Amino acid sequence: MEFLKDEFESVKRYFENTIYKWKVIMAFLGYGKVKVSTARVYRGKVHHKEIIGGAIWR
């Protein structure tokens, strides 16, 4: 059962990553907006970038 659980986790992660990539691509093309965690840590705070309609906002 452990093996199956690990397998499931990796598949789940793979799908999440794929969906995330698609969201980013769609946002670049100008559909909707997506929060991209490039997660630059700046003075102890984590900064996210939002891609809105093809533009990147810091």
pLDDT tens digits for the chain (58 residues)? 677 778 888 888 888 878 877 877 777 676 656 655 555 555 656 555 655 555 554 4
Note the pLDDT of residue 58: 42
Prediction pTM value: 0.37
Residue 31 to residues 8, 9, 43, 53, Cα–Cα distance (Å): 31, 29, 32, 6
Residue 57 to residues 4, 10, 33, 40, 43, Cα–Cα distance (Å): 41, 31, 11, 14, 19
CB atoms within 10 A of CB 22: 11
